[in-house]
Amino acid sequence: YWTNKSMRSMKKMASLKPEMDALQKKYANDKEKLNQEIMALYKRHKVNPLGGCLPMLLQMPIYIAWYQALMASVELYRAPLFGWIQDLTAQDPYFVLPVLMGVLMFLQQKMTPTAQDNSQAKVMLYTMPIMFTVIMLFLPSGLTLYILTNTVLGLAHQWYMNHSEDALA
């Protein structure tokens, strides 16, 4: 539900980009007036600029709890999963899961509609996947697998939202 609302919010924000660009040109020298006009634009179109971040904020406690469970659970210590993953509590020895997760996050960022200017969009496109990949290199493979699975599901949902006729409804 929250991911769906987030994606709808991002699509609405992206549809407002031409109006935002016009406002940025009109109020290039007056940042305060620009911010007021952008907030009025959001209010007029009933768009929440923080709506795209909500699912990630809601998932953070789950990530932390899963990490704690992996570190405290005796049953999961040295529990093999498949192939090269012989311990869910240890990092991926060949870094396959973190790198795959980073690549899929990059693809998801590419597919995500953006209302930001091009320089901000490029920073988000590269920074988020690289940052998550580097962090996941040293965390338990069980947590990396969980976030990878979540990313795959998010990617499929993003593709559906981008190709669905009723996505903005």
Intervals of the chain under pLDDT 70? 1-2, 51-54, 113-118, 120, 165-169
CA distance 157 to 144: 20
Helix (H) or strand (E) holding 119: helix 118-136
pLDDT score recorded for residue 131: 92
pLDDT score recorded for residue 11: 77
CA distance 43 to 17: 15
CA distance 50 to 145: 27
pLDDT score recorded for residue 114: 66
CB 124, CB 109: distance < 8 Å: yes
CB 101, CB 2: distance < 8 Å: no
- Within 10 Å of residue 153's Cβ, how many Cβ atoms? 11
CB 47, CB 12: distance < 8 Å: yes
pLDDT in tens, 75-116: 888 888 889 988 889 999 999 999 999 999 999 888 876 656
Structure tokens at 155: 């990617």
pLDDT score recorded for residue 38: 85
pLDDT score recorded for residue 108: 87
Helix (H) or strand (E) holding 67: helix 54-72
pLDDT score recorded for residue 34: 86
CA distance 87 to 158: 31
3-state class of 139 per DSSP?
Answer: coil
Q: How long a stretch of residues is the chain? A: 169
Please identify which residue in the block is written with the tokens 């240890």: 90
pTM of the model: 0.73
